[in-house]
Amino acid sequence: MLEDYLQSAASQLIERASGLKGKLPRPPRQEFERLATQCCDGIDCAIRELTALRDNAAWKKPENAPVRLLEFRRIASNVDRLENEAVAPIVRSSKDEGAMVKLLYRMSNEIVYPIELPTVSMLSQNYFFIRTDFKLMCIPLMETQFLLHLPDVYHELAHPLFRTQYDPRTKGWLEAFLLAKALIYDHLRKQIVAAESSRTPDAIMLLLMHARENWTCRWMEEIFCDLFGLFSVGPAFAWAHLHLHAERGRTAFQLPQRRSSHPADAARMTVLLDGLVLISENRVAAEIESRWRNLLAVAGQIEPADFQRYYPDKILRQVVEAAYDGYCKMGCRPWPQPTEDNVRSILNDAWRKFWNSPQDFVAWEKATATTMFT
């Protein structure tokens, strides 16, 4: 059965993969050059693998049928991703990508971003995110007309730093990251040992285990990305976090769950406020904290008694210091050092205007965004 199935299915998938190349724009668009090249390489690889799978005598041996099916599924999945996540954003792009790329270059120059920039797609259906394997940053369609969420671009710029290897440009940052992970891991290990030797309820033990896994697998990277954003653009990043939580955040004091992707929003805000103090933005830190507390009170959110067990303030402060050290060691230019450009100043002006001149804000933002993206 499998032989008959794969003869046709592999041939069809080869045709489909090859057809993807025909969908790429002609003449090529400069802003997609790297991604289009990566797509073509990926397509070539998939076609080579599919051809071998279909035609090679070793694959056709009956005893290899299970692994042959597994390999077909793996390659089909890769072609599927190339089509939907890489080629489609290129084919459906508009002039907005070009405008965002220009802004990204200005942002990166201003902070002395240490590595190559990702490609941009304005077709995100899920806020800002970055596909690190395709190095593709996805941004919602309308963001070129607004300013308040743009600080989150800096957070996304930090994710590719963790995918670098053997790269002196990011060495200091990754060393700081490992140090921070070791700090939290050690704290949680001690908590778990203490819990094991006492009458700690199983439920808390489970939360500790989740916290340890999440901090080491995912959370510390997210916290470091937040801090990269904060050190890059200053208070505007913390305001954007408040804004994001107000609009679409979940429980601010969410306790650890299995395979959670992000730490609790309240812990993230704690880190950001510590970071603002570290860069001597005490006044605005106090202002943000006051509004944050008001927001939590309005939503009736209260810190659970054992929240600190999973998000210890003392360790988080050390994490902030480590991240700042790593940021500076990469040669990045932290807020509020003066720069030749004014992107990060504009993003901070936007938040000042938002709070101080609500009547004028929308018109001001529209005009400013138009100028900035032109």
Partner 1 sequence: MSAIGFDSCFYARLNEFSRSLNHVLLAADTPTFATDNDWRQTLELVQTLADRSSASLAASSVAASLTGRMGEKTFWADVANALVARKLDSAAKKELSALAWSLDDERTAVLARMRHA
DSSP track, 155-207: HHHHGGGGG--S-TTTHHHHHHHHHHHHHHHHHHHHHHHHHHTTT--HHHHHH
Tell me how long the chain is.
Answer: 374
What residues have CB less than 8 Å from 288, skipping those under 6 apart? 235, 238, 239, 242, 269, 272, 273, 276
What is the closest distance, in whole angstroms, from the C-beta atom of residue 367 to partner 1 in the complex?
27
The b/e string for 115-133 (b: 16+ C-beta within 10 A; e otherwise) is bebbbbbbbbeeebbbbee
| 78 versus 339: smaller Cβ distance to partner 1 | 78
What DSSP string describes 62-74? GGGHHHHHHHHHH
Give per-residue burial for 170-209: e unless 16+ CB within 10 Å, then b: bebbbebbebbbebbeebbeebbeebeeeeeeeeeeebbe
Identity of the residue, 52 or 328, whose beta carbon is nearer to partner 1 in the bound complex: 52
Instruction: Find the shortest distance in angstroms from Cβ 214 to partner 1.
Output: 11
Q: How far is the CB of 51 from partner 1 (least distance, A)?
A: 15
Nearest distance from C-beta of residue 305 to partner 1, angstroms: 28
- Least CB distance from residue 183 to partner 1, whole Å? 17
Report the SS3 class of residue 1: coil
Collect all residues with Cβ–Cβ distance below 8 Å to 370 and sequence separation of at least 6: 145
* Min separation Cβ 16 and partner 1, Å: 17
Q: Structure tokens of 284?
A: 């605005």
Residue (1 or 58) nearer to partner 1, CB:
58
Shorter beta-carbon distance to partner 1: residue 129 or 253: 129
| 77 token code pair | 């999945």
Interaction site with partner 1 (CB under 8 A): 58-59, 61, 63-64, 66-67, 70-71, 73-74, 77-78, 80-81, 85, 126-134, 138, 152, 155-156, 159, 163, 213, 217-218, 221-222, 244, 261-262
The answer to whether the beta carbons of residues 318 and 186 sit under 8 Å apart is no
Q: Cβ 73 to partner 1, closest distance in Å?
A: 6
Nearer Cβ to partner 1 (37/337) = 37
Q: Where are the alpha helices (DSSP H) in the chain?
A: 2-23, 33-55, 57-60, 65-81, 88-91, 95-111, 152-158, 171-196, 202-214, 220-233, 235-248, 265-278, 282-298, 307-310, 313-329, 343-356, 358-372
What does the alpha-carbon distance between residue 338 and residue 34 come to, in Å, rounded to a whole number?
32
- CB-nearer residue toward partner 1: 102 or 262: 262
Cβ nearer to partner 1, comparing 70 with 142: 70
Q: How far is the CB of 218 from partner 1 (least distance, A)?
A: 6
CB of 234 to partner 1, least distance (A): 18
From the CB of 94, what's the least distance to partner 1, in Å? 22
Q: Collapsing DSSP states into helix, strand and coil, what is residue 7?
A: helix
Nearer to partner 1, 64 or 339 (CB): 64
**Closer to partner 1 at the Cβ: 188 or 333?**
188
For partner 1, give the closer residue by CB, 178 or 297.
Answer: 178
Q: Is 130 helix (H, G, I), strand (E, B) or coil?
A: strand
Which residue in 164, 172, 291, 271 sits closest to 222, CA to CA?
Answer: 271
